[in-house]
Amino acid sequence: MQASWPDSRAFWQGKRVVVTGGAGFLGSFVVERLTARGVQAFVPRKRDYDLVQKEAVQTLLAEARPDVIIHLAARVGGIGANRENPASFFYDNLMMGVQLMDAAYRAQVSKFVALGTVCAYPKITPIPFKEDDLWEGYPEETNAPYGLAKKMLLVQAQAYRQQYGYNSIFLLPTNLYGPRDNFDPASSHVIPALIKKCLEAQAAGQAAIVSWGDGSPTREFLYVEDAAEGILLAAERYNAPEPVNLGSAFEISIKDLVTTIARLTGFSGRITWDTSKPNGQPRRKLDTRRAENAFGFHSQTTFEDGLRRTIEWYRAQPAGGAEYSA
């Protein structure tokens, strides 16, 4: 039986909302959907508020005086970026989150929405990943520092709720993709990296492209606009300590992903595999039932439709990326 949910616009009426990372990939869509709900969100930019610095966090809260904080800001990247920057990925993400949530509690911000990452799950986790399995092992090594830094927001949220009664929630999105993604090959994730590689190879008349690993790992991808809607539904409807997955419930192997992107971009050359490069986590697929039951979220965009929209956007405006994204 379908739950009867409150009106979205009523929840946001009169509230001051800060969206960290709101100028980035995911954040820009969250801000757009807030605007559609009648909210003019405050988006702190890194040049004005470096959230790694405690003083900047305090200044932000004093100036914005938010009722709700949606914390999306993160230092992120693909496997290569994680391998090259483990210390800075750990430190920057940990310090941004821990200081901001503590300051929000002390400033009496009524609700804090923290975004985690699927990278927080153990390397070997039963499929589909259930939120209760989050502590059953160590994350995949190539992105463990990033995943653990974000995972500490869950520990902090639950601790602050237990000791202070603070209303902080923690969401775990799977891999995101869509328009406005980061297409910089030095730091991009797999889908934008492959789109860029296929289109450039096609334009140059190259006979082959090279992909990392052996193609065997599987991933679940969530279209960015669906993720933005899920975050706002959780902000409106969810007020509990347990973490919640946000996903699409669709799993695809990296081999099939490359083949699909090659077909949709029109690249007809060979696909070769550099097995000296890491595969990353063997499988990723989330159990999404808690989000459906707790706040009525399920993804709306089919994978191929989302890929087509992403490719069309990149063809029209090839420069993507953001200072902070999630």
> How many C-beta atoms lie closer than 10 Å to residue 265's C-beta?
22
* Position 323 pLDDT exceeds 70: no
Mean pLDDT on 165-190:
93
Torsion sign across C-alpha atoms 28, 33, 35, 40: negative
End-to-end distance of the chain based on CA atoms, in angstroms? 33
Q: Is 65 left (phi over 0), alpha (psi -120 to 50) or beta?
A: left
Domain layout of the chain by residue ranges: 11-182+223-250+280-300
Q: Are the CB atoms for 216 and 17 separated by under 8 Å?
A: no
Q: Are 146 and 285 in contact (CB under 8 A)?
A: no
Model pLDDT, residue 2: 52
Q: Regarding beta strands 111-115 and 175-177, do their DSSP bridges make them parallel or antiparallel, or are they unpaired?
A: unpaired
Which of 146, 177, 223, 314 does the annotation list as catalytic? 146
pLDDT at 171: 98
Task: Give CA–CA dist 72/21, Å, rounded.
Answer: 5
Do 306 and 223 form a contact (C-beta atoms < 8 A)?
yes
CA distance 265 to 95: 40
Architecture of domain 11-182+223-250+280-300: 3-Layer(aba) Sandwich (3.40)
Check residue 251 and give its pLDDT: 95
Q: How many CB atoms lie within 10 A of CB 162?
A: 10
Q: What pLDDT band is residue 113 in, cutting at 50, 70 and 90?
A: very high
pLDDT, tens digit, for every residue of 23-79? 999 999 999 999 999 999 999 999 999 999 999 999 999 999 999 999 999 987 777
Alpha carbons 238 and 267: distance in angstroms, whole number: 44
Picking from 309, 219, 204, 286, the residue whose alpha carbon sits closest to that of residue 258 is: 219
Whether 275 shows a pLDDT value over 50: the answer reads yes
* 120, two tokens: 């927080």
Between 315 and 77, the more confident residue is 315
Residue 91: both structure tokens together: 């430190």
Residue 325 has pLDDT above 50, yes or no: no
The CA distance from 23 to 21, in Å, is: 5
Q: What is the pTM of this model?
A: 0.92
Q: Which tokens in the block code for residue 12?
A: 């946001």
Catalytic, 164? Answer no
* C-beta separation of 247 from 131 below 8 A: no
Dig out the tokens for 20 from the structure.
């960290």
Q: Is the Cβ–Cβ distance between 73 and 61 less than 8 Å?
A: no
Phi, psi dihedrals of residue 148, rounded to the nearest 5°: -70, -35
